[in-house]
Amino acid sequence: MPTARRPLLPWIVWGTAAALYAVAIINRSSLAALGPAAQDHFGIDATTLATFPMIQLFVYAALQIPVGVLIDRVGATAMLLGGSVLMVVGQTVMATVFDVRLAILARVLVGAGDACTFISVMRLLPEWFAVRQLPVVSQLTGLIGQAGQLVSVAPLALFVSLAGWTNGFLGLAAIGLLVTILGALVIRDRPGVGTFAERMIGRTGKITRNARSLGGFQPTGTVEIAPPSTEMIPVMGAPRPRALRFWSQARRLLRLPGVRLAYWVHFTSPFAANVFLLLWGTPFLVGGIGLDPAAAGGLLSLTVLSSMFAGLVLGPVSSRFIERRVWVNLGIVIAIVLTWCAVIFWPGTPPTWLLIALLVVMPLGGPASMIAFEVLRSHTPRSFTGFATGLVNTAGFTASLLVILLIGLVLDMQGAGSPELYSLDAFRVAFAVQIPFWVLGIVMILIEQRRTGRWMREHGRRLR
């Protein structure tokens, strides 16, 4: 049977897409260990430095829903490759300019390309894998992304210090271009659909024709459409304008308490790690705690390793304990809150063991946020998958964007906005801005979890 001859194709498609995601994470986090270097290179203060990832994340979050709509229309492969090209252009600009305005433009391009990547990969997964495999494959996707985060923490900083700013970022652009070419040759939206390269030349290869999903989908070459229900016929009329259709879809999704629950799960769990790894981790450890840059890079690597380990564990846990997965997420969030509060309110310099605890516990929020997409999958019609994934994915990055900006503003308000003026007390006050975001998120998770349970009982629904 063809299924037996091509059992690896779903994994090859996924692996290539995950590699594109890992490169996107490297691009997203390329300033993680280079914050002080960027301040020196462009001659900027803390608020302006915070503007780089802030604008990048703003573009990322703002484009999630439009990208989700486009994925449902043009396919995940086209959006994935298009996003990768945008990041290649953005990093090329970042490598070659000295004007801070052009550098911000570069981060806009990186943010736009990054916005296309994750939800495109997530959209591919249900087409190639069985439902029972999706939680594990989703966490493995996050794990590979964290490998990209690991590269951006210490190796990238070392490479830039040795090769220089221009060569370092041009190297990132070159890697992105190579992986994009590989994606054009390998990735397919679903079984039976050609790669981007095959569609460009108008020829479909034997591998594509024999492709099979591990979920049991068998392409037949025909499209099966169920007849419409009779109650829908009287209301069919002129098609709605796209803007109205967009808001209609959004309202329809947000009426579902399970979709709102997924939104708040994603809002609450990942932003602390994003803020720390994207920008403020190195300044805090070096300028606040007083570590040397090498030790700070090693500790940042610890956060990524912890996140990768959590990804390996949470996938099977989420798959096995479907009814309790939101409580798993909430438990991790509470552990992050308690650990950060211990660091913020510790008298004097936090001891090494507490810093290590923070850097082990805090990054668990990244893999925990993937539970949001498992919750979403249980409550979203398949035709809305791209749109809904984009909607939920805005949550954590909106929180991250706001917290990054607020930390920079609070540092500047205290007169501690540049590397030579950083202090531990200033960072304590600045990092305390996270607390209201956690409180809001936890309260909303508890409210929507209760509403979701009631809605499912009323409609006789079960989680999947």
Give the chain's mean pLDDT.
81
d(CA 397, CA 59): 10
CA–CA separation, 19 and 21 (whole Å): 5
CA 329 to chain centre: 16
Tell me the pTM. Answer: 0.70
Predicted pLDDT of residue 419? 72
Residue of 267, 268, 366 whose CA lies nearest to 311? 366
- Per the listing, tokens 């981790």 go with 281
pLDDT band at residue 330 using 50, 70 and 90 as cut-offs: very high
Window from 33-47, 173-187, 252-266, 366-380 with minimum mean pLDDT: 33-47
Residue 274: C-alpha distances to residues 174, 231, 386 (Å): 25, 47, 23
Is residue 141 a contact partner of residue 381, using CB atoms and an 8 Å limit? no
Sequence spans of domains, the chain: 2-213+245-457
Alpha-carbon span 37 to 163, nearest angstrom? 13
Note the residue count of the chain: 464
Tokens 């370092």 -> residue: 168
Per DSSP (E only), the strands in 70-125 are none
Q: pLDDT tier at 244 (50, 70, 90 boundaries)?
A: very low
Q: Are 270 and 400 in contact (CB under 8 A)?
A: yes
The residue with greater pLDDT, 95 or 211, is 95
User: What is the pLDDT at residue 245?
Assistant: 60
Six-digit token string for 235: 């209301």
pLDDT tens digits for 161-203?
888 888 888 998 999 999 999 999 999 988 888 888 888 888 8
* Alpha carbons 237 and 109: distance in angstroms, whole number: 40
Structure tokens at 297: 């890079």
- Confidence at residue 340, expressed as pLDDT on a 0 to 100 scale: 96
- pLDDT at residue 428 in the model: 93
Separation of alpha carbons 348 and 339, rounded Å? 16
Burial class (CB in 10 A: 0-12, 13-18, 19+), 458: exposed
Whether the Cβ atoms of residue 438 and residue 267 lie closer than 8 Å to each other? no
Contact predicate 87/27, CB 8 Å = yes
Alpha-carbon distance 330 to 314, whole Å?
Answer: 13
243, pLDDT greater than 70:
no
Q: Residue 382: its pLDDT value, please? A: 64
To which CATH superfamily is domain 2-213+245-457 assigned?
MFS general substrate transporter like domains (1.20.1250.20)
Q: What is the Cα Rg of the chain in Å?
A: 22
| 205 pLDDT above the threshold of 70 | yes
Residue spans of alpha helices (H) in 193-322: 196-201, 206-209, 242-254, 257-268, 271-275, 281-283, 293-320
pLDDT tens readout for residues 41-92: 787 776 777 778 778 878 888 888 888 888 888 889 999 999 999 999 999 9
Count Cα atoms within 13 angstroms, Cβ side, for 450: 5
- Close Cβ partners of 331 (under 8 Å, ≥ 6 residues apart): none
Does the structure show a pLDDT above 50 at 222?
A: no
Q: Provide DSSP, 167-195.
A: HHHHHHHHHHHHHHHHHHHH--SSTTPPP
pLDDT at 230: 30
What residues have CB less than 8 Å from 74, skipping those under 6 apart? none
Q: How far is CA 231 from CA 227, 228, 234, 382, in A?
A: 12, 8, 7, 21
Q: Which range, of 5-19, 188-202, 222-236, 423-437, averages the lowest pLDDT?
A: 222-236
How far apart, in Å, do the first and last CA atoms of the chain sit? 30
Residue 459 has a pLDDT of: 63
Check whether 119 has a pLDDT greater than 90.
no
